[in-house]
Amino acid sequence: MRSFVEFIGSLPPGPLTEAVAALYEASEGDARKYMKKVLVGMGLGGEMAEDYGENWAEVVFNKLRSDFVRQGCDVFFLPGIARIAYGELDYDSDDEDTQKTAELRNLVKFITTAHKGQFTRNLERIDVVQQGPQKGMKVKTAPLSLGEIHDMFSREQRDVSSAERQSFIDENGQDKDNGYKIVELTDFPTANKFYKYTVTSDPHTAWCYLEDEGTFDSYRQDGNRLYLALKPGFETLKPGQPGYGNSMIGLTAVK
């Protein structure tokens, strides 16, 4: 499979190709270059080259894009995600802390939706000095560890998740016509029964906690809870049919 950079290079020259290349450079291309700079600055360049080959930055970027960006994290934060994933969590290795990788993904998803403007691409916190001669000046913290981000947002994330879940349940109670049925997934065998309804031609759309017992246990660890909201007839709907996208919704309750 060709990379996106190779695809751009294969296009005929012209204004449209130049525009596509410029947009890529301004978003994913810029994120990839800065991600490489961060990892090299951590002294990981040689190790990455040994593990992933000469074009390791592109390979690593694509792995993180699949695991984080496709799950709701902004590509802007991939340099900071890479720093934590490879620097703290042994990402993509036999020693990977999958529970903390899932926690990192959920926290950055939350930052993406609720606090994006308060962080740099390296997950440094941006503050504004409100008093003194430097009033209005923007300052930033050192790059934050996963533990520091957890301490900063886990309570807010839990409260928002709880409120959203309760609001959804209140609005779509089982006693309402055409409403959702709420199912709590308390064990992997029950969860796994629903996996077949999430599988499409794109493997990235499958819900990993329904497929893999280890991932399910990681989600459930420390008292976190998992639910499915199911529309009547969800079992028969296929991708592309009306109502398919909201016929089966996953809900989490973070402790």
Q: Over its length of 255 residues, how does the chain's per-residue pLDDT go in tens digits?
A: 344 444 545 656 666 555 544 444 445 678 888 999 999 999 999 999 999 999 999 999 999 988 898 888 888 899 999 999 999 999 999 999 888 998 899 889 888 887 878 888 899 988 766 666 666 667 788 899 999 998 887 776 665 555 555 555 555 554 444 467 888 888 889 988 988 887 654 444 446 678 778 778 777 766 677 888 888 888 888 766 777 667 787 776 655
Residue 248 lies in a domain: yes
- Give the model's pLDDT for residue 104: 93
Q: What stretches of the chain adopt beta strand conformation (E)? A: 126-128, 138-140, 181-184, 225-230, 248-253
Nearest C-alpha neighbor of 207 from the set 248, 246, 239, 242: 248
Sheet holding 181-184, edge to edge: 181-184, 225-230, 248-253
Residue 220 lies in a domain: yes
- Give the model's pLDDT for residue 138: 74
Residue-range definition of the domain harbouring residue 192: 172-255
Residue 159 lies in a domain: no
- Give the model's pLDDT for residue 83: 97
Residue 146 lies in a domain: no
Q: For residue 129, give the 3-state DSSP assignment.
A: coil
Count up the domains in the chain and report the number.
1
- Give the model's pLDDT for residue 5: 44
Nearest C-alpha neighbor of 182 from the set 123, 127, 225: 225
DSSP lists the bridge partners of residue 249 as 229
> String of b and e for 141-172 (b: at least 16 CB within 10 Å)?
eebbebeebbeebbeebeeebeeebeebbeeb
Phi-psi label, residue 90: left if phi above 0, alpha if psi -120 to 50, beta otherwise: left
Nearest C-alpha neighbor of 66 from the set 78, 80, 52, 54: 78
Residue 162 lies in a domain: no
pTM: 0.56
Task: Give the C-alpha separation, 60 to 157, whole Å.
Answer: 28
- Give the model's pLDDT for residue 131: 64
Residue 33 lies in a domain: no
